[in-house]
Structure 1
Amino acid sequence: MATRMYMLPEDCISSILSLTSPPDACRLTLVSSSLRSAAESDIVWGGFLPSDLPRILSRSHTHLSFSSKKELFFLLCASVLIDGGIRSFSLDKVSGRKSCVISARALTISLSNEPNHWIWTTNSTSRFSEVIELKTISNMKIDGRIETEDLSPNTTYGAYLIIKVSDRSFGLDSIPCETSVSNITSTVTSTTYLCPLDERKQQLESLFFMNRRRMMEKRVVEGECRRPNKREDGWMEIKLGEFFVGEKSEGVKMKLMEVKGQQLKGGLVIEGIEVRPI
């Protein structure tokens, strides 16, 4: 079978390889020189790029320089800023499915323009020019929205709030917040704490907030309250929920809010919300 494949015209081989996957195409470049030429062709890598590629490129914040569609594919895998630099777009290296990060500037954050409550600042590890840091607030609400046309169809996605916790943080693990992800047909809610578990600090604060903690934890649909998880890029993430993208375009809303906002808190740094395939 392999011998018969070598007898096919290169463009025919490329058309066949375009039905595989990016990792398969990369592996096939190592088999032989004839397969390498076919596997690196624009026919193959054009098949791995999104169908709305011109729209994506038109939204790029900077000019993208590339000499082949394979090179463009890996540029997009590394992520590019779009929409004036307030969003980031990327492709999954294995599946080619779309991901998006919505920066803090593109979110709706309660009192975000009040310098007594929040401060816009920079962070050397952020992909965006600005992040937002909480100074102090008692009732926090963060809303994000994404159109499913910016994502891959027939795919389950997770939404994650990307955060850091400063050394001067306070009140973030006293009372859990409610998270939700909703579209036209459904709303899925859960609860989460805003920083990793500090057992000693939690024991002290539980003396004052046990009743409210128990009230909030009763709102959990499954299991216990979530906690932030560490990311490879040095940030942490809080899972807000999941949703499925079908063929029909619609808006998806993502939210984090404190239902009973009485506890002062500060020291939370927000980069944005990432929406990526699960």
Structure 2
Amino acid sequence: MGTSPRNFDSLPEECVSTILSFTSPPDACRFSMVSTALRSASDSDMLWLTFLPSDYLSILSRSLTPLVLDFSSRKSLFFALSRPLLLDGGNMSFKLDKFSGKKSYILSARELFIEWSTDPMYWSWRSMPESRFKEVAELRTVSWLEIEGKIRSKDLTENTLYGSYLIMRVSHRGYGLDSVPCEVTVTVGNRVVKSGKAYLWQKDEKKGNKENSLDGVPVPSRREDDDNGWMEIEIGEFFSSSEGDDDEEIKMKVMEIGYHLKGGLIVEGIEVRPKQV
């Protein structure tokens, strides 16, 4: 037998908030329109604290612009954190998924290990108005391409399937990036959990190709809700477990050592975000 709004109205607000904590942020917002009692419970700090990550205060302490966040309620703070927030001096972007409350990050190019990136003969660092970060890395020319990002499992939402993605584009002077595919790997601790291949460029975008692949090998695709022209290629996926107290290092690597010259790749960063399942 179902529960009517009148049944909820007879319950203490704390009890209703506890019940709503087993739903989702969008569901809580919908319940607020049912009755006055449900509105009070669905807007309560007690409820929205359950949707915020347990380390939200630590995240806030790393914000580049903490004063722009709305602290008037935990609900308003949740939705403030569902928009991109720059952390760690502007070298990392963080946000909560507004539907699930799960955490996602973008590691800027400055947060990555990029082989030869300190040598201006091979890589240049410059600003781009289309980027969320102060600098991006542009490949001049190399024969050995290696890009790696790292994140700790404790920084992610537990019991969640994550995907990692290289955010990139190719300049007008791009060359050699479609000759052979790169090796892409994800390592959790000392275990390789995902490995595969991917092209970093599909020249002329091979008109008519709807599969985002070339001969079965993935190619870059346009990012959803991104009007700035950035592309992405999936490096791999992994599961963030809650078993034990282990805090494992997760490494995401793109590597191509075909010993032929290539250039024109522009790297904004690596995103780690929950996958829709």
Q: Same fold (TM over 0.5)?
A: yes
Check if 1:270 corresponds to 2:267.
yes
Question: Partner letter of residue 263 of structure 2?
Answer: G
2:201 to 177, 182, 195: 195
Partner of 1:210: none
Partner of 1:11: 14
Distance, in Å, in 2 between the alignment partners of 1:250 and 1:241 is 17
Distance 1:139 1:38, change over 3 A: same
How big is the shift at 1:4?
1.5
Question: Partner letter of residue 242 of structure 1?
Answer: E
1:245 to 237, 240, 249: 240
CA deviation digits over 1:212-263, x for unaligned, max 9?
A: xxxxxxxxxxx82211111121311111111111123200111111132x22
Partner of 2:210: none
Moved over 6 A (4+): none
Partner of 1:57: 60
Distance, in Å, in 1 between the alignment partners of 2:88 and 2:26 is 30
What pairs with 1:163-182 in structure 2 (closer than 5 Å)?
A: 163-182=168-187
Question: Partner letter of residue 85 of structure 2?
Answer: V
How big is the shift at 1:166?
1.3
Distance, in Å, in 2 between the alignment partners of 1:82 and 1:130 is 15
Question: Partner letter of residue 189 of structure 1?
Answer: S
Number of residues of Structure 1 aligned to a counterpart in Structure 2: 256
Distance, in Å, in 1 between the alignment partners of 2:157 and 2:144 is 35
Distance, in Å, in 2 between the alignment partners of 1:57 and 1:236 is 29
Aligned CA-pair RMSD: 1.8
How big is the shift at 1:197?
4.7
1:105 to 94, 102, 110: 110
Distance, in Å, in 2 between the alignment partners of 1:199 and 1:241 is 22
Distance 1:185 1:200, change over 3 A: closer
How big is the shift at 1:108?
0.6
CA deviation digits over 1:29-86, x for unaligned, max 9?
A: 2222332222111111111000111211121122143111111111111121111211
Question: Partner letter of residue 9 of structure 1?
Answer: P
How big is the shift at 1:148?
0.5
Question: Partner letter of residue 271 of structure 1?
Answer: E
How big is the shift at 1:19?
2.1
Structure 1 gaps of 5+ residues are 202-222
**Which structure shows the bigger proportion of residues in helix conformation?**
1
Distance 1:200 1:272, change over 3 A: closer
Distance, in Å, in 2 between the alignment partners of 1:179 and 1:146 is 16
1:69 to 52, 55, 74: 74
What pairs with 1:83-122 in structure 2 (closer than 5 Å)?
A: 83-122=88-127
Contact 2:147/2:255 (8 A) holds in 1: yes
CA deviation digits over 1:129-184, x for unaligned, max 9?
A: 11111111111111111101110111111110000111221111111111110112
Provide the TM-score with structure 1 as the length reference. 0.87
SS at match of 1:44: helix
